[in-house]
Structure 1
Amino acid sequence: MSSAIILILLGSGIYLTIGTKFFSLTKLNYIVKHTFNNMFSKKTSGVGDVTPFQAVSTALAATVGTGNISGVATAITIGGPGAIFWMWIAAVFGMTTKYSEVLLAIYYRKRTKDGRYVGGPMYYIENGLKMKWLACIFALCASIASFGIGNMVQSNSVADSLNATFNINPITTGIILSLATTLVIIGGIKRIGSFAEIFVPFMAALYIIGGLVILSINVNMIPKIITLIFDHALSGHAAVGGFTGATVMHSIKIGVARGVFTNEAGLGSAPIAHAAAITDNPVQQGLWGIFEVLVDTIIICSITAFVILVSGLWNSGLTGAGLTTAAFETLLPNSGFIVSIGSLFFAFASIIGWEYYGERCIEYLFGHKVILPYRILWSLMLIVGAISDLTEIWLLSDVLNGLMAIPNLIGVIFLSPIVFKLTNDHFKINKANHIK
């Protein structure tokens, strides 16, 4: 993703945060009360296909991926510990970007002839800005990118990991992934939502608890690590041995890029899942977008970063998932399986979540008749990805991910007056009714 797109994403987040009067920070108690505290509540009002938590679980399934494990490690080795501080900054502003996307997805969603609720950037760009051509560009980029970053790249990483650890033939892994994925996606958003509602909290809890256990054992190191992060963020230090250019600006670039990439705020993917939520309140569902960024970046990515920094291996020359695994093993022998299982679960969840994104985009372009062929192709491409060299696919996916952001942000920024008005009205009503 280019520096220009990263700056546009960050700038958009800052603009939206100011426009909503920093409510994602000042109303944090309200946000927690209406998201974390209601995760498993079945009390919903309005229309839609899945509960609000099932919708956010589907979005998190795609968002929480191998980047939370290997991507954070790579950011630290390239940009130094200071990159984590800038990752947090990107997440703080990204919360409002994700909130705005989700709000607009609900506000402009539509009901299909067969009774399903669909929405996302292509719908708020077309219906809000009256620019169908731009909506089609987003849908085209997203549908193609989904086969890269959400399909073949994920199956390839799982196949490589299982082959290296357990000597499992990559084609065997590809076939198993293909069959398991088919069983989930064949039921559409309702089955995907039911799956994600159980699977995503389980996989996140496994990784979070494992990381917190390790950090609790080394709790005396936490103040030093926080100091290290802030020191490097503001002064800049070389990261990997022999690497001499990790300046403050480099640390900012790497940290912001990792923050944007890991939570996908501004890319326009997650609103596609949120649009199916049962709700009659765009603002209320938008709060789940903030929840999504908090879980993905502020919690999961931070746990990865702290374990790596506490282990002292961040400048050892290791990088990626290998560094994260070594950090876990150093601090708690035989705990590396947490990373291995986490990588497997996160990758499978991403496959499921991105299938739904791509399916909605391809349906927008070509109609309902393409859904079944798309699902079949999606499952088959997992086998192809497991046995292929994906160097060029990685590059293409990265470019298309960036291109998704441009039409999406045009939609979000030009429709921001709606975001600001609905947000302001919502909290005015709550204040009048003494709702906290």
Structure 2
Amino acid sequence: MFEMIVDFLNALLWGKILVYGLVGAGLFFTLRLGFIQITHFKHAIITLLHSRKVVTPGGLSSFQVFCTSMAARVGAGNMAGVAVAIGAGGPGAIFWMWLIAVLGMATAMVESTLAQIYKVRDENGQFRGGPAYYMEKGLGQRWMGILFSIFLIIAFGLVFNAVQANTIAAAMTQVFGFSASDIGLILVIFSGFVIMGGLRKVARVSELLVPFMALAYITVAVIVVVTNIDKVPAALMLVINSAFGLQEAVAGGVAYSVAQAMQSGIARGLFSNEAGMGSAANIAGSASPYPNHPASQGFVQMIGVFVDTIVICTATAAIILLTGDINSDSDGIRMTIDALTGHVGQEGGTFIAFTILFFCFTSIIANYSYAETNVLFLTGHKERILPLFRVVVLGMVMFGSLAKVGLVWALADVSMGLMATVNIIALLLLSGLTVRVIQDYSHQLKAGKLPTFNYQDFPELMRHKDNAWIVNTVKTTNEQKSDDIPLLKDNNTPT
């Protein structure tokens, strides 16, 4: 009965509501911002390169926030999720993952900018922000923020962490023959060590691990592509043809419809890059961005979607598709392990197992940081509840190590879909303010100034006396310094 309810909700959310909602929102923001993910792509990269600077005390650097959001994004969705998408929807699912990523870059820009606009300081002086905050303060609908927080806590604090632990246990069991219960216990110990240190410790660990592990994985994928360069054109055509139903059958006669490819690609793409879900916006609100303007964090988070899906998910797809043998009956992570083993031998399975371990471990701790912000939102920033919540999170890590993967993935889809639905509504309702803030940034940039945020130019913010931009106004200057000049070279302005 429970599985029937889960399946019904998934069919409703991913078969109808979110296919239109996510694509529609991505198209709307792309057009409204003048294809900002293309016109400002270079500037977004430059902003990321300068993102280690911290403008105000109490905030994390934009780079720490970027790495923490990447820690949550890069995990089971990039390896097991890509394989699940191919198995359920065929190679064409990869095309729809690409599309939702390109559109999602604009959505990520909007939600992260909003998180910055409405951020506050908690009792320890740390910035906090995210969808729950902009729903309460921007829309004046605390009930909506409460609803979103509950969905996020269930999704990220509980279900998604079970998914990540499940993927780690499956990889370690297949490659090394370890006991799933032993793997679960080790994960609980190390995850507990990090999350007990709170948001700053999560950010520090993410900043150390994420760049290293992402570069290692991409390097291996590039080696696989180069050694199979003659197969790349055929693999690319297979993806395109399958996406539009032009490939009648693949994998030994298994045929996939366009609807299957779309549903699988969009669902797994969102699970991986999280654009529009409202999750990465929670950590985006904790940054002290450089330049000192809400939109600068939006540019940084926009690149996160690109790296996650266009780069890392494509790397996994290449590893799988270039084998020439797609086993639709294979479990997600097992398909990826088998594919890389086929390319480079047994060492491939070992590499994937350790990559999964680090990717998914950092996802667990980053997912917790998202949930922590929403627990504090619900409790009025009272931290007494956090120790108990951390114990519950670690319990779900243990549960995920032992659970059946099918049901866990299905639960992840439901909770993610409910979150995304609530968040998309809020993003659309607040789109007018967000667009004006982003345009304010671009107009200053075009005028040759280092963008800074003046909250007095936006009357909507004046009634929120706890807004961090009002309480902690930092006087900055538009004078160009030698290390600021690269930020001023991209003068494109959204329409």
TM tier relative to shorter chain: over 0.9
- Residue 394 of structure 2 aligns with which residue? 379
- Residue 375 of structure 2 aligns with which residue? 362
Q: Shift of residue 5 of structure 1?
A: 1.8
- Residue 8 of structure 1 aligns with which residue? 21
Q: Is the 8 A contact 2:170 2:333 kept in 1?
A: no
String of CA shifts for 1:393-434, please: whole Å, max 9, x gaps: 543332121111122111111111112112222212211216
- Residue 278 of structure 1 aligns with which residue? 288
**Separation (CA, whole Å) in 2 of partners of 1:178 and 1:419:** 40
**Separation (CA, whole Å) in 2 of partners of 1:387 and 1:247:** 33
Q: Give matches, 1:403-422, under 5 Å.
A: 403-422=418-437
309, 326, 331: which one aligns with 1:297: 309
Q: Is the 8 A contact 2:45 2:300 kept in 1?
A: no
More relative contact order, 1 or 2 (CA 8 Å, 6+ apart): 1
Q: Is the 8 A contact 2:72 2:366 kept in 1?
A: yes
Ranges in structure 1 where 5+ consecutive residues have no aligned partner: none
Q: Which moved more, 1:313-322 or 1:358-367?
A: 313-322
Q: Which moved more, 1:72-81 or 1:407-416?
A: 72-81
108, 113, 122: which one aligns with 1:112: 122
String of CA shifts for 1:213-237, please: whole Å, max 9, x gaps: 1111222322332233223223433
Q: Shift of residue 316 of structure 1?
A: 7.1
Q: Is the 8 A contact 1:236 1:248 kept in 2?
A: no
**Is 1:234 paired with 2:244?**
yes
Q: Is the 8 A contact 1:73 1:321 kept in 2?
A: yes
211, 224, 242: which one aligns with 2:234: 224
**Separation (CA, whole Å) in 2 of partners of 1:394 and 1:227:** 29
Q: Give matches, 1:93-108, under 5 Å.
A: 93-108=103-118
Q: Is the 8 A contact 1:79 1:251 kept in 2?
A: yes
CA gap 1:58/1:315 in 2 versus in 1, 3 angstroms? same
**Separation (CA, whole Å) in 1 of partners of 2:387 and 2:274:** 27
**Separation (CA, whole Å) in 1 of partners of 2:410 and 2:264:** 17
**Is 1:52 paired with 2:65?**
no
**Separation (CA, whole Å) in 2 of partners of 1:22 and 1:291:** 14
CA gap 1:93/1:300 in 2 versus in 1, 3 angstroms? same
Q: How many residues matched?
A: 432
- Specify the code of the residue in structure 1 equivalent to 2:399: V
**Separation (CA, whole Å) in 2 of partners of 1:300 and 1:202:** 13
- Specify the code of the residue in structure 2 equivalent to 1:409: I
- Residue 435 of structure 1 aligns with which residue? 489
Q: Which moved more, 1:125-134 or 1:328-337?
A: 328-337
- Residue 30 of structure 2 aligns with which residue? 17
Q: Shift of residue 375 of structure 1?
A: 1.7
**Separation (CA, whole Å) in 1 of partners of 2:231 and 2:446:** 42
**Separation (CA, whole Å) in 1 of partners of 2:58 and 2:285:** 8
String of CA shifts for 1:286-307, please: whole Å, max 9, x gaps: 0111111111100000011112
**Which structure would you say has the larger Rg?**
2
**Separation (CA, whole Å) in 1 of partners of 2:409 and 2:355:** 21
Q: Shift of residue 145 of structure 1?
A: 1.9
Q: Is the 8 A contact 1:95 1:294 kept in 2?
A: yes
- TM-score, normalised to structure 2, is 0.83
Q: Shift of residue 389 of structure 1?
A: 4.6
Q: Is the 8 A contact 1:148 1:397 kept in 2?
A: no
Q: Secondary structure at the match of 2:434?
A: helix
Q: Shift of residue 62 of structure 1?
A: 1.1
- Residue 91 of structure 1 aligns with which residue? 101
Q: Is the 8 A contact 1:62 1:150 kept in 2?
A: no
186, 190, 193: which one aligns with 2:196: 186
Q: Give matches, 1:193-212, under 5 Å.
A: 193-212=203-222
- Specify the code of the residue in structure 1 equivalent to 2:252: G
Q: Is the 8 A contact 2:116 2:284 kept in 1?
A: yes
String of CA shifts for 1:228-282, please: whole Å, max 9, x gaps: 32232234333443433x2233322322222222111111111111111112311
CA gap 1:236/1:250 in 2 versus in 1, 3 angstroms? farther
Q: Is the 8 A contact 1:239 1:315 kept in 2?
A: no
Q: Is the 8 A contact 1:111 1:117 kept in 2?
A: yes
Q: Which moved more, 1:95-104 or 1:226-235?
A: 226-235
Q: Shift of residue 166 of structure 1?
A: 2.5
CA gap 1:390/1:32 in 2 versus in 1, 3 angstroms? closer
Q: Shift of residue 151 of structure 1?
A: 2.2
Q: Is the 8 A contact 1:156 1:387 kept in 2?
A: yes
String of CA shifts for 1:73-106, please: whole Å, max 9, x gaps: 2222332222211211110000011111100000
Q: Is the 8 A contact 1:49 1:189 kept in 2?
A: no
**Is 1:255 paired with 2:265?**
yes
Q: Secondary structure at the match of 1:56?
A: helix
Q: Is the 8 A contact 1:210 1:338 kept in 2?
A: no
Q: Which moved more, 1:194-203 or 1:398-407?
A: 398-407
String of CA shifts for 1:358-383, please: whole Å, max 9, x gaps: 11112211232211221233224323
- Specify the code of the residue in structure 1 equivalent to 2:410: L
**Is 1:350 paired with 2:363?**
yes
Q: Is the 8 A contact 1:47 1:277 kept in 2?
A: no
**Separation (CA, whole Å) in 1 of partners of 2:424 and 2:343:** 42
String of CA shifts for 1:304-332, please: whole Å, max 9, x gaps: 11121211112575452222222212222
Q: Secondary structure at the match of 2:368?
A: helix
310, 330, 333: which one aligns with 2:322: 310
**Separation (CA, whole Å) in 2 of partners of 1:320 and 1:270:** 24
Q: Shift of residue 165 of structure 1?
A: 3.0
- Residue 137 of structure 1 aligns with which residue? 147
CA gap 1:394/1:227 in 2 versus in 1, 3 angstroms? closer
- Residue 269 of structure 1 aligns with which residue? 279
**Separation (CA, whole Å) in 2 of partners of 1:127 and 1:301:** 35
- Residue 424 of structure 1 aligns with which residue? 439
**Separation (CA, whole Å) in 2 of partners of 1:163 and 1:233:** 34
Q: Secondary structure at the match of 2:244?
A: helix
**Is 1:63 paired with 2:73?**
yes
Q: Shift of residue 357 of structure 1?
A: 1.2
135, 152, 158: which one aligns with 2:168: 158
- Specify the code of the residue in structure 2 equivalent to 1:435: K
- Residue 472 of structure 2 aligns with which residue? none
- TM-score, normalised to structure 1, is 0.93
String of CA shifts for 1:108-163, please: whole Å, max 9, x gaps: 01011221111100000000000000110000111122244332232233223323
